[in-house]
Each structure stands twice: as C-alpha cells, then as structure tokens.
Chain A
C-alpha cells in the first residue's frame, strides 16, 4: 500500500466524485439521483482517509471525519427516502419533472 503515490489515490476519489455528479445531473428518477449523491459522499470519505493515511499518518482525524460523514449520509438517506415515499403516495411518481406540482 505504501508504494502508491498520493496523487493516484486522490485522482481515484476525484473520479468517483465526478461519476456521482454525472449521475446526479443526468438521472431523472429521484432514487437514482440519490445514488449519485451517495457516490459523491463516499468519494469525499476516501479523500479524507487518503490525506490522513498517506500525508499525515500520525494523525487519525480522517477516520473520525469519515465516520461523521457516514452518519450524516445515513440520516440524509433516511429523510430523502421518507420524502420520496410520501411524494409517490401523493403524485404516483418519483420523476423530478413531475415534482414541480409541489410548488402549488
């Protein structure tokens, strides 16, 4: 593990982040957009751990930051899915283009 340059690891996590962003931008179903967001949060976690482990191996803050990000992601997913289910009950769809009915 020690032979890998930090740049490769950071580019790996950046790629994952932008793949998630691509999914968030192109999808129309709310659940698949949530999948894109989860990929982005996961890439951020990898980034924190990489900087922690490969640049400042003595500190361990990356572990705790990543754990708090995971907890926030879990809370966010639970609330988002509750909203989707309520939305589906009201307008029979989880398509973003039909959600503008919520405005009125």
Chain B
C-alpha cells in the first residue's frame, strides 16, 4: 500500500501543481477555468487517498461541480472567450514573483525546521453516519453551532447574490 500510494500522491501533486500554474498563467480565460477544474479534482483525489470520502465527494460536488460551473458561466457572460488576455506588465510579474518566492521560501524554511511529532495513533475511520452525527451534535466536539452559522451565511449569500445581480430599475 505504502509505495503505490506514495507514488500516486506524488503523481497527483505534480498534476495539481501543473494545472494550478496553468490556471494562473493561461492567457485564454476559459482554459484557465478548465485548469482550475483539474486542480480541484486532483485535490479530491488526494482526499480519497487519505480516506476522507465524504470530503472528497463534497469537494467534487461543490467545488468542481458548483463553483467551476459558476465561474464558467460568468466568463461566458462577461468576456470574449476568443480573445487572448494581454500579458501582465513585466514589472508586475517580477514584483509578484519576488513577493511570492520570498514568502514561499520563508514558509518552506519554517516547515522544514519545525519538528512535527506525529502522534502515531491509528487513523480513525469516519463513516458517513458519524460525519452527520458530529455535524449536528451539541455535546463536546460537536459542530452544531458552526453548522447553523454557515447555513445563515449561505442564506444571506443567496439573498445577497439575487439582490446584487437583479437588474436595477433605471434611475429617475
């Protein structure tokens, strides 16, 4: 299990990183959205590998199925998909690369110097039933309060999106 799973992880990591880079550098806007889809689906594969099946399903449904479709719709509504986007200014590219690489170097330095001590317990197998029970449990370790808060956030976002996107009556 360990060797095949290890190779599979490195394969998917390379795939996800390559499609992330393509998503932020592609000059055709629709292709950028499709590369984002590959990056998100590769992440779902990673969740499958660590036995978080429910999270992988949510990732595929909400991210790959929902958000990417929303992004593609908005691209079709707001941009000319045949047109190539102009290249970013060289100064901007250099400044952003410098910032990003410095920050990444800092983070990588901290990660490689920090002494992670895995607790060594056997990983918990979490069934779908337990996920549902934990989400709605109000005893210790339950998540009913964040669950309710997130449902209010989603409702507010839904109403807000409709109000914002509604065609405004012409100002008199």
User: A residues near B, CB below 8 A?
Assistant: 1-4, 6-7, 10-12, 14-16, 18-23, 25-29, 31-32, 34-36, 38-39, 42, 45-46, 49, 53-60, 63-64, 66-68, 70-79, 81-86, 88-89, 94
Contacts and interface: CB of A to CB of B under 8 A. Distances in A.
B100 A11 contact: no
Interface of B: 1-3, 5-6, 9, 13, 16-17, 20-21, 23-25, 29, 32-33, 36, 39-40, 43, 46-47, 49-52, 54-55, 58-59, 62-63, 66-67, 70-71, 73-75, 77-79, 85-86, 88, 92-93, 95-97, 99-101, 103-104, 107-108, 111-112, 116-119, 121-124, 126, 131, 134-135, 143, 146, 150, 153-154, 156-158, 160-162, 164-165, 167-168
Nearest to B36: A35
A14 B108 contact: yes
A35 B24 contact: yes
B161 A71 contact: no
Contacts of B5: 1-3
Contact of A26 (B17, B93, B107): B93
* Residue of B16, B51, B156 most packed against chain A (CB within 10 A): B16
